[in-house]
Structure 1
């Protein structure tokens, strides 16, 4: 609250120091929910929605998502138009909250996507999730990683994720979709924590949890404490990179070693 000569004004959200944009699948609330949960005081998250053929009303999905709608998500015109509209707002950076796109198009395709979107972005930095994870893992000096994906990523999409990180110089010691209920709303932190704890190989020196719609940031601190190694998730890595791109020195507390760099 702000006092002004006896009058008291309630918080109204206009005092944000940094505003971050995120592009999300049209029926997915996960990316903006986790980003805002982690965001320190003075940081606000603003989303724009992009049609995603694998999601229906209410966020319903098939048990596993096919590759074709993932590829379509990053093709013109929908994501380009959504980016242009979002970039018209006074934002410090915009993230693409869609891990699987990086897996499917690969690192080179992801760079081309960023270059294409930059032309529509009014000068606002555009950040992708997988490239953010790579940057974070490198700064943490990780070499051998364990990759955990959502249960709605099938074996092929998970394999493409392992290939993505392998192409960036990491040794992927373990990769698999988590054996949990294949429904976003059914994921709970306790079950995810146990699955990752029980399946992380001793030789992995860092963990990446893919999927921006995968409820994961709440378990980062507990896993790092118990496993003794850095844990990165899609939305955590994306927030870390977009804050840096926006020139913000804000550091979320309680969300992993990445923000202590």
Structure 2
């Protein structure tokens, strides 16, 4: 069975991963191991959270699962390193794990490329300064941002407590008519259960952090399945 290991910071919405296993018919193993630091959405804390040693510790925890690929399941803890630093972060993680590796930030860029998205709206839960760094990262990846909103939520724990209805409202309320898709960049937010509802409401693709992270891991492992329950990204062949 193909196995993708995920390094997840603290605890918030990690139940999206076993939920994805179920939606994919238990054809894949998606184990999650946790590393710990502050869950504050602030640049110094995020740089510490995504540090080389913390990710090496996460890779060591995943080793028992014998993953085919490893993904750092944290958007802010990767894009905060900027484009070049995020590449270096992933290279060091791959070396520590001895497996292909990536991060959620690169997953967004590659997923947008896979769907042919050129212009997007960003509906971020982060404070404005952190959300702006995500926009800069996307732009470096060749994606035009036509609208960006930031909810100003300070911690991942608060994001993890958002109701399904609040997540839907966040996405729908921050669409833009010129956007090819809406991007929701926080792995602390449970989104897999409402993806189809949001896409139906908007009539366009929606990319969310846990969705693209899982897709990226499966891509690295060499087997992205079709699914009618994980958004346009998993329906596009």
TM-score, normalization: structure 2? 0.90
Q: Is the alpha carbon distance of 1:108 and 1:211 closer, same or farther for their aligned partners in structure 2, counting shifts above 3 Å?
A: same
In structure 2, the partner of 1:239 is 214
- Output the aligned Cα RMSD: 1.9
- Give the structure with the larger helix fraction: 2
Length, aligned pairs only: 231
Post-superposition CA distance 1:72-130 (Å, at most 9, x none): 012232221221342353212111111002221112111111111221112x2112101
Post-superposition CA distance 1:12-54 (Å, at most 9, x none): xxxxx222211011x3141x31122122122222122212223
Match of 2:8 among 24, 45, 56: 24
TM-score, normalization: structure 1? 0.82
In structure 1, the partner of 2:89 is 113
Equivalent residue runs for 1:69-88 within 5 Å: 69-88=45-64
* 5+ residue gaps, structure 2: none
Match of 2:32 among 21, 41, 47: 47
Instruction: Give 1:69 shift.
Output: 1.3
Instruction: Give 1:217 shift.
Output: 2.1
Larger Rg: 1
Q: Is the alpha carbon distance of 1:258 and 1:249 closer, same or farther for their aligned partners in structure 2, counting shifts above 3 Å?
A: closer
- Contact 1:107-1:131 within 8 A present in 2 as well: no
Give the SS at the match of 2:230: coil
Post-superposition CA distance 1:190-240 (Å, at most 9, x none): 122123212211011111100111122222211211212110001101111
Q: Is the alpha carbon distance of 1:120 and 1:179 closer, same or farther for their aligned partners in structure 2, counting shifts above 3 Å?
A: closer
* 5+ residue gaps, structure 1: 1-16, 55-63
Structure 1: distance between partners of 2:171 and 2:46? 25
In structure 1, the partner of 2:101 is 126
Instruction: Give 1:247 shift.
Output: 2.2
In structure 2, the partner of 1:93 is 69
In structure 2, the partner of 1:34 is 16
